[in-house]
């Protein structure tokens, strides 16, 4: 498998594309911004300007001529566009049907509710946020269109370059749930898991992408704020509405070893 198309070269998609270029893959990358075409070109990524709505996707057909397609577009935060997200995923997958056998949908661990327990890929999904609900709806559309071969990566909170966790709560006071565990993954490991799926051709499964260690929220964010020279946040020492995201499929089918401890 040597040609990979990445729909959405944002924070994660661009990092993935760069790594795949290093690994001698031929990479096609999309953006909705004309100015970013040159950025992709400079990274030896074949650039495509693609626009999509809930009704249609406007793209050169050659973009979907690849061995693998990564769909890396998170739902928008604004409520109108949030509701359109499942239909956008639907139009994208339909546009690729018949040309790409292996599609990997980048999803989120927000599909699991904070129900005070540990969850893995075999756990029930019961999202308790609007974004979690539309992400799960998009997953179900994908499963219905590709019932025999769907690959989904559910990432926990992504940190890394330009996403310094020390800034998340810096200077805030009375932050609730200080004793809950954090569920995070560094960009390096998020990219690493995606690459290992390609390397092992381990398609057709759901993978939880989350670091295996889960420090306490107040300890982690106080430490990272201090390390960044920011005002340390103040937490309420309580534990309510939590979950610990684990993975059985990443170690079992990928044998992936995390590089970054949280």
Please give the Cα distance from 21 to 23 (Å, whole number): 5
Residues 6+ apart with CB under 8 A from 175: 169, 217, 218, 221, 233, 234, 235, 236
Please give the Cα distance from 60 to 112 (Å, whole number): 36
Please give the Cα distance from 175 to 238 (Å, whole number): 10
Q: Are 27 and 45 in contact (CB under 8 A)?
A: yes
Spatial CA neighbour of 31 closest among 47, 46, 44: 47
Q: Which pLDDT score, from 0 to 100, does residue 97 have?
A: 82
Look up tokens 């989120």; give the residue: 108
Provide the token pair at 211: 């670091």
Please give the Cα distance from 17 to 14 (Å, whole number): 5
Q: Which pLDDT score, from 0 to 100, does residue 230 have?
A: 97
Q: Which pLDDT score, from 0 to 100, does residue 61 have?
A: 87
Tell me the CATH class for 3-161+183-213+243-254.
Answer: alpha beta
Q: Which pLDDT score, from 0 to 100, does residue 60 have?
A: 86
Q: Are 205 and 250 in contact (CB under 8 A)?
A: no
Residue 8, φ and ψ in degrees, nearest 5: 105, 85
Spatial CA neighbour of 2 closest among 152, 191, 199, 190: 199
Spatial CA neighbour of 146 closest among 196, 72, 206: 206
Q: Which pLDDT score, from 0 to 100, does residue 238 have?
A: 97
Q: Which pLDDT score, from 0 to 100, does residue 22 have?
A: 97
Percentages of the chain per state (helix, strand, coil), in multiples of 5 = 35, 20, 40
Q: pLDDT tens digits, residue range 185-224?
A: 999 999 999 999 999 999 999 999 999 999 999 999 999 9
Provide the token pair at 37: 């075409």
Provide the token pair at 242: 């939590």
Q: Which pLDDT score, from 0 to 100, does residue 1 have?
A: 65
Q: What is the domain partition of the chain in residue ranges?
A: 3-161+183-213+243-254
Instruction: Show the low-confidence residues of the chain (pLDDT under 70).
Output: 1, 79
């Amino acid at each position: 498998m040597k040609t990979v198309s990445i729909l959405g070269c944002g924070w994660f998609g661009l990092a993935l594309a760069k790594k795949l270029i290093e690994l001698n893959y031929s990479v096609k990358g999309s953006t909705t911004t004309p100015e970013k075409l040159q950025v992709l070109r400079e990274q030896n990524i074949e650039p495509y300007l693609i626009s999509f709505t809930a009704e249609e996707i406007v793209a050169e057909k050659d973009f979907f001529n690849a061995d693998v397609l990564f769909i890396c577009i998170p739902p928008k935060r604004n409520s109108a566009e949030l509701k359109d997200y499942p239909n956008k995923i639907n139009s994208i997958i339909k546009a690729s049907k018949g040309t790409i056998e292996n599609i990997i949908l980048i999803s989120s661990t927000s599909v699991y509710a904070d129900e005070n327990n540990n969850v893995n890929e075999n756990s029930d999904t019961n999202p308790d946020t609007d974004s979690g609900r539309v992400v799960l709806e998009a997953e179900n559309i994908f499963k219905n269109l590709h019932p025999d071969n769907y690959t989904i990566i559910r990432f926990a909170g992504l940190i890394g370059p330009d996403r310094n966790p020390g800034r998340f709560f810096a200077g805030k006071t009375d932050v609730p749930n200080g004793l809950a565990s954090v569920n995070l993954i560094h960009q390096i490991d998020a990219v690493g898991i995606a690459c290992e799926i390609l390397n092992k051709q381990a398609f057709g499964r759901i993978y939880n992408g989350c670091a295996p260690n889960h420090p306490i929220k107040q300890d982690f964010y106080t430490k990272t704020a201090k390390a960044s020279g920011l005002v340390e946040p103040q937490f309420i020492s309580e534990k309510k509405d939590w979950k610990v995201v684990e993975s059985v499929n990443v170690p079992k089918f990928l044998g992936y070893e995390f590089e970054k401890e949280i």
